[in-house]
Amino acid sequence: MKLSTLLICLGGLLSATGLGWSQMWSRRSIKQVYLEVKAGRGRVGLYAMIVAPVSLALIIAGLYLAFTWR
């Protein structure tokens, strides 16, 4: 398995652990979620706040390696 694929998969799995099932299957629209976050009522825990940027960085690094590595 390539390192880039491994980083992308690891970042995706890590980001999936930051969400609970109730958050993934809620029927709220994007506008409702945006308004809640804007009002400061977003339901995000400390773990999700740490995992989100780390998983995003892993995915970006994996994509960078996938596009530039020969």
Q: What is the pLDDT of residue 65?
A: 94
pLDDT in tens, 25-60: 667 777 887 787 778 776 667 787 788 889 999 999
Burial of 62 (0-12, 13-18, 19+ CB in 10 A): buried
Burial of 70 (0-12, 13-18, 19+ CB in 10 A): exposed
Q: What is the identity of the amino acid at 18?
A: G
What is the reported pTM? 0.69
Helix or strand holding residue 31 (H, E): helix 30-38
**Domain residues of the chain, as ranges?**
3-68
